[in-house]
Amino acid sequence: MKFSILRIAFLSATSFIVALCFTVVPCEAQNPTIAPANYDEALVPQYVLPDPLVAEDGTKIETPEQWREKRRPEILELFKKNMFGQFPEADLSKVKSEETVSVSDSLGGKATRKEIKIYFDAPNEFPQATVLLYIPNDRQGSVPVFVMPNFQGIHTTTDDPSVSAYKVENSTHNLDKTLDDVRGKAKSRWAFDMIVSRGYAVATVFYEEIEPDVMCNFTRGVHPLFTNFDLNADDYPATIGAWAWGLSRVLDALGSVDGVDVKKAIVAGHSRLGKTALWCGANDERFAAVISNNSGCGGAALSRRQFGERVDRINASFPHWFTKKFHEYGDKVDQLPIDQHELIALIAPRPVYVASASEDLWADPKGEFLSALNADPVYRLLGTDGFGGVTEQPDVNAPVGATIRYHKRAGGHDVTDFDWEQYLNFADSIFKK
């Protein structure tokens, strides 16, 4: 009797330990119990922006060489240390891509549709992501390409039933529903027909295939590949950085695709993926231009305005997006050594488009405009026409600017045909179409 009780106790203890070892600890839930957003201009504090043209040692930056050699690296490092973390070098021996689908008569014959699989850790083949790519059939040679991640899976960007659909473990955006329930759900954001008809290719990847959008102590997605960094260091790459790194790998993969000119690639993104596009473009200078669509706090909006979503709030809701250091600035954004106009300045002299939406106060349209405006001196120093003399935020649906462009579309937080029309005009002006 005694023996069997002991045995049961032993067995249950062992199975408990075994169960512990094999249970995947759930990732932390996002925590929305935080300070309210601010929608009152009267509560915007007085602030002084850091001057992108004064170095940390007080040197005035007066030549393009000083910018390139002294101030730009300094600002980039400040963003790495304080906000996004390092942008890892790619181990290209591990990143492989392969074309898995090619359909020559997509979009009613206007486009060739391809799917390209990227294996970030070949030959282990995990994690992996699938890029959906449309290339116009009516073209001479290679064409410029938009690289823009999507929120819910490539199969949500179009009704086309032949587009592959994948489930992603630990994804927050897709999917408890069956894959076909969400097919085409986000198609209004993807003007594939218009893009291809204007002579451009477009590539999209589901961002959570690069890394799930969860706080998991950086154990999911591509993060385990960043072995050169100390998890406790200030500049340990955070999740927006991982997504941005993934977009660079998409560009690598496009390099071997016939008909796509990777020297004419524009990285674009909406909302959190707009933040991602800005950070990717700041680091990866192979991207010829950058588009930020309603990127808001941590993207194009000035942190110091504390309007709409604010730094304290975004850090509490999405602790994994930014470095630990950024969390320290929640209640002292005035002490940040950088602000978001300098993220835009890091893209200079390459063209940049900042887009807001009139009802998207959460993303602070005025703060987004002011970032674009305050990046202008750097663009001018580098010999471009910068914001083209713009000083006032324009009315709705009235795009303005030159190498830096801006519009405030009427409506809410979204990507619409109006936005795409402007991005295509922007691309035409860059590539002289």
Pick 139 or 327: Cβ nearer ligand GTR: 327
Cβ 317 to ligand GTR shortest distance, Å: 6
Distance CA 136, CA 242 (A): 30
Cβ 71 to ligand GTR shortest distance, Å: 28
Give the active site residue among 97, 248, 271, 371: 271
* Alpha-helix residue ranges (DSSP H) falling in 224-271: 239-254
* Sole binder of ligand GTR in the list 112, 271, 371, 403 (CB under 6 A): 271
Count the residues in the chain. 433
Point out which span in 171-179, 309-317, 400-408, 423-431 binds ligand GTR (CB under 6 A): 309-317
Residue with tokens 């074309």: 99
Pick 193 or 312: Cβ nearer ligand GTR: 312
Provide the 3-class DSSP secondary structure of residue 202: strand
Distance CA 143, CA 151 (A): 25
Distance CA 378, CA 327 (A): 28
Cis peptide before 45 (omega within 30 of 0): no
Distance CA 274, CA 296 (A): 8
CB 322 within 8 A of CB 333: no
Pick 187 or 380: Cβ nearer ligand GTR: 187
DSSP one-letter string for 392-407: SPPPTT--EESSEEEE
- Active-site residue flag, 162: no
Residue with tokens 């290209």: 92
Would you give the DSSP letter of residue 72? H
* Sole binder of ligand GTR in the list 127, 237, 296, 367 (CB under 6 A): 296
Q: Using CB under 6 A as the criterion, what x/- string covers residues 347-386 for binding ligand GTR?
A: ----------------------------------------
Provide the 3-class DSSP secondary structure of residue 17: helix
Distance CA 145, CA 263 (A): 9
302 binds ligand GTR (CB under 6 A): no
Cβ 272 to ligand GTR shortest distance, Å: 3
Pick 208 or 309: Cβ nearer ligand GTR: 309
Cβ 309 to ligand GTR shortest distance, Å: 5
Pick 191 or 297: Cβ nearer ligand GTR: 297
Pick 67 or 151: Cβ nearer ligand GTR: 151
- Active-site residue flag, 413: yes
Distance CA 428, CA 430 (A): 5
Secondary element (H or E) of residue 372:
helix 365-381
Residues 272-291 that bind ligand GTR (CB under 6 A): 272
CB 47 within 8 A of CB 200: no
* Sole binder of ligand GTR in the list 115, 235, 309, 342 (CB under 6 A): 309
Distance CA 26, CA 320 (A): 15
CA 331 to chain centre: 25
257 binds ligand GTR (CB under 6 A): no
314 binds ligand GTR (CB under 6 A): yes
Size of the site for ligand GTR (CB under 6 A): 7
Pick 97 or 276: Cβ nearer ligand GTR: 276
365 Cβ neighbours under 8 A, 6+ residues apart: 356, 357, 358, 393, 408
Provide the 3-class DSSP secondary structure of residue 176: coil
Residues 78-137 that bind ligand GTR (CB under 6 A): none
Give the active site residue among 173, 317, 413, 429: 413
Residues 1-40 that bind ligand GTR (CB under 6 A): none
CB 183 within 8 A of CB 165: yes
Strand ranges across the sheet with 143-147:
96-106, 111-119, 128-136, 201-205, 143-147, 260-270, 289-293, 352-357, 404-409, 400-401
Pick 37 or 194: Cβ nearer ligand GTR: 37
* Sole binder of ligand GTR in the list 203, 289, 297, 354 (CB under 6 A): 297
| Site residues for ligand GTR per CB under 6 A | 271-272, 296-297, 309, 314, 317
Active site residues: 271, 413
